[in-house]
C-alpha cells in the first residue's frame, strides 16, 4: 500500500520545510481567500490575478514570495466544511505525486475540519505502481494545526486511509494475479495481523456447509472458489454487525457470456469483499468496541464444461432452491449463501456490499451508491455515509417485484428475462429472501441493508477530489463509521 506517514505539528506551515505547502482557499464574491491562518494573505490577490476562483478541483501552484517554496492553493468552493476540505486536500495531493514531503496548512481550523483535510490529502496521495514504474506519491504529510493528535483523531485517519488504500490495491490488481485462493490468503494475512479471527472455506468445506451458490458460480473456473469468515469480537462489545461482501475476482458472465467490451473492468467485481475486509481490519486496529463478522464470497465466474448452465437448479445455503436463468446474475447467488449463513448467527444487523448490477449505474451514475433495506438501518447507514462523505441514495424494495422471480421448477429464479425490469431493485428483492428471521417463520427479518456500489467502486472517468483512476475504496469509510456508531449506542 502507498500510504504516506502522517505527522502533526502546532507550528505554522513553513514553505521551506516541505516540497510544497497545501493551502485551502474559499470562493467568494471578492475572489478566492485562504480559509486558514499562517501569513498567506498574498495568496488571494495572486490567485485573482491569475483568474483562479477557488472552486472545487481547482488547484493552482504558486511560488512563495522571494522564491521561498511552493504553495498549492486548492479550492473548497463556497462552503468550508468537512466534505469540501476532504475533497480539496485530495485534489491537491493528486497534483503532487512527485513530491516527497507535503505540509498541510490547517491553522485556525477546528479539529474536525483539520481531520477531514488530512484524511482527504492522504487519500489523494494514493498511487498504484505494481505493474509499471512511476511516482509513488509523498512519503510524508505534516498537518499544521492548533490541536493535538487525539483531537484530530490522527490514529483514525491513518487506519481509514490504510483501509481505503488496501481496498484500492486489491481492486486494481490484475485478475490473473488475484484468484479466489490468493485473495483469501491476502485477507487472512491482513485480518490476522489485526487480531481478527479467520476461517477459510475451501471447496470441500463449502460443499459440507451447503454453500452451493458459491460452488456453482465458481464451478466453471480452474481456480476454485473460497468463502472467508472474519470475526472481530472485542471484550465488552454490546452490538453485533454482520458484513457480507461480493468477491467475484473476475466476471466473464459465465455461459451467459458478456460482450467483450463489457468484460473490461470486471476485475473490480470483488470490490465489495475488499471493502468488508478493510473496514473490519480498521475497526480492529482502532479497537472499536463492536463485534463484527465478515463474509467474503470469493469466486471466478468463467465459462467451461463445468460451469453452471441456464436452467440449472441450485439448493442454496438454508435450503431455498434457485433456478439459474442467467449465469451473469451470479453475484446474488454467492451473496445469498453468505446472507443465509450470517443470519444463522442472529446478528443485530446485516449489511451487504456488492458491485451487483449495471442498473445501479443507469439509475444513479458512478458516484452515488444505491441503498435499500430495512428503514431504520437504511437511515443509520445514510448517516454514516454522510459523515464519511460517501453519497448514497435510498431505493425501494417493492413487494410486487417478487413474482417476477417466479420459477416453474424452483422456489426462485435468479433474474427475470425478456422484459424491462428495475434491475437494481429486483436484485435487492432477491437478496432479501435469504435474510433470516429472528425466531420462526412468522417473526420479523433481521435488520438488513444492501449497498450496490457497481458504479462508485471503480472510476473510469476523469479524477476528482481524492479519487483517482481505478479502484476507489467505495463503502469502506461508511462501514467504519457505521461500526463506530453501533459501538457508541
Binding region for Mn(2+): 246, 251, 269, 328, 330
Residue at grid coordinates 491562518:
37
- b/e code 64-82 from CB counts within 10 Å (16+ = b): beeeebbbbbbbbbeebeb
Distances (CA, A) of 132 to 93, 128, 135, 178: 20, 9, 10, 17
- Alpha carbons 365 and 335: distance in angstroms, whole number: 23
236 burial type by CB count under 10 A (0-12 exposed, 13-18 middle, 19+ buried): exposed
Whether residue 125 contacts residue 168, with contact meaning beta carbons closer than 8 Å, is answered with no
198 burial type by CB count under 10 A (0-12 exposed, 13-18 middle, 19+ buried): middle
Q: If we measure between CA atoms, which residue out of 209, 413, 402, 423 comes closest to residue 314?
A: 413
- Other Cβ atoms less than 10 A from the Cβ of 161: the count is 29
3-state DSSP call for residue 363? helix
Angle at 376 between CA 375 and CA 378, to 5 degrees: 65
DSSP 437: B
Give the containing element (helix H, strand E) for 172. Answer: helix 154-172
User: Mind telling me the catalytic residues?
Assistant: 258, 332
Q: If we measure between CA atoms, which residue out of 404, 397, 399, 437 comes closest to residue 419?
A: 404
Whether residue 453 contacts residue 475, with contact meaning beta carbons closer than 8 Å, is answered with yes
Amino acid at each position: 500500500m502507498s500510504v504516506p506517514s502522517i505527522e502533526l505539528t502546532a507550528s505554522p506551515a513553513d514553505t521551506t520545510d516541505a516540497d510544497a505547502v497545501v493551502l485551502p482557499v474559499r470562493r467568494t464574491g471578492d475572489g478566492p481567500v485562504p480559509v486558514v491562518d499562517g501569513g498567506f494573505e498574498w495568496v488571494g490577490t495572486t490567485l485573482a490575478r491569475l483568474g483562479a476562483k477557488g472552486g472545487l478541483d481547482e488547484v493552482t501552484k504558486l511560488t512563495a514570495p522571494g522564491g521561498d517554496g511552493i504553495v498549492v492553493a486548492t479550492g473548497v468552493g463556497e462552503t468550508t466544511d468537512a466534505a469540501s476540505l476532504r475533497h480539496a486536500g485530495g485534489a491537491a495531493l493528486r497534483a503532487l505525486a512527485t513530491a516527497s514531503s507535503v505540509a498541510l496548512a490547517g491553522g485556525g481550523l477546528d479539529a474536525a475540519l483539520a481531520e477531514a483535510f488530512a484524511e482527504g490529502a492522504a487519500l489523494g496521495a494514493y498511487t498504484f505502481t505494481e505493474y509499471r514504474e512511476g511516482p509513488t506519491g509523498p512519503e510524508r504529510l505534516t498537518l499544521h494545526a492548533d490541536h493535538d493528535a487525539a483531537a484530530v483523531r490522527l490514529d483514525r485517519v491513518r487506519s481509514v486511509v490504510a483501509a481505503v488504500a488496501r481496498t484500492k490495491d486489491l481492486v486494481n490488481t490484475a485478475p490473473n494475479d488475484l484468484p479466489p485462493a490468493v485473495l483469501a490468503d491476502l485477507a487472512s494475512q491482513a485480518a490476522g495481523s489485526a487480531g481478527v479471527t479467520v476461517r477459510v472455506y475451501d471447496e470441500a468445506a463449502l460443499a459440507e456447509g451447503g454453500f452451493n451458490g458459491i460452488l456453482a458460480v465458481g464451478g466453471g473456473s480452474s481456480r476454485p472458489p473460497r468463502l472467508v469468515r472474519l470475526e472481530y469480537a472485542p471484550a465488552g462489545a454490546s452490538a453485533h454487525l454482520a458484513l457480507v461482501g461480493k468477491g467475484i475476482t473476475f466476471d466473464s458472465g459465465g455461459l451467459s457470456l458478456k460482450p467483450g467490451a463489457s468484460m473490461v473492468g470486471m476485475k473490480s467485481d470483488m470490490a465489495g469483499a475488499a471493502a468488508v475486509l478493510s473496514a473490519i481490519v480498521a475497526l480492529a486496529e482502532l479497537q472499536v468496541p463492536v463485534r463484527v463478522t465478515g463474509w467474503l464470497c470469493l469466486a471466478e465466474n468463467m465459462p467451461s464444461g463445468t460451469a453452471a448452465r441456464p436452467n440449472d437448479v441450485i439448493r442454496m445455503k438454508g435450503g431455498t432452491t434457485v433456478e439459474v436463468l442467467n449465469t451473469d446474475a451470479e453475484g446474488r447467488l454467492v451473496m445469498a449463501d453468505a446472507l443465509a449463513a450470517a443470519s444463522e448467527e442472529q446478528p443485530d444487523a446485516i449489511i451487504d456490499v456488492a458491485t451487483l448490477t449495471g442498473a445501479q449505474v443507469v439509475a444513479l451514475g458512478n458516484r452515488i451508491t444505491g441503498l435499500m433495506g430495512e428503514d431504520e438501518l437504511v437511515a443509520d447507514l445514510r448517516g454514516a455515509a454522510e459523515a464519511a462523505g460517501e453519497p448514497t441514495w435510498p431505493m425501494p424494495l417493492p413487494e410486487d417485484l417478487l413474482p417476477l422471480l417466479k420459477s416453474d421448477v424452483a422456489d426462485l429464479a435468479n433474474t427475470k428475462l425478456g422484459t424491462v425490469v428495475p434491475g437494481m431493485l429486483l436484485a435487492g428483492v432477491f437478496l432479501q429472501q435469504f435474510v433470516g428471521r429472528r425466531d420462526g417463520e412468522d417473526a420479523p427479518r433481521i435488520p438488513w441493508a444492501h449497498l450496490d456500489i457497481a458504479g462508485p467502486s471503480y472510476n473510469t472517468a476523469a479524477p476528482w477530489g481524492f479519487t483517482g483512476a481505478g479502484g476507489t475504496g467505495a463503502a469502506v469509510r461508511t462501514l467504519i463509521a457505521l461500526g463506530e456508531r453501533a459501538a457508541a449506542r
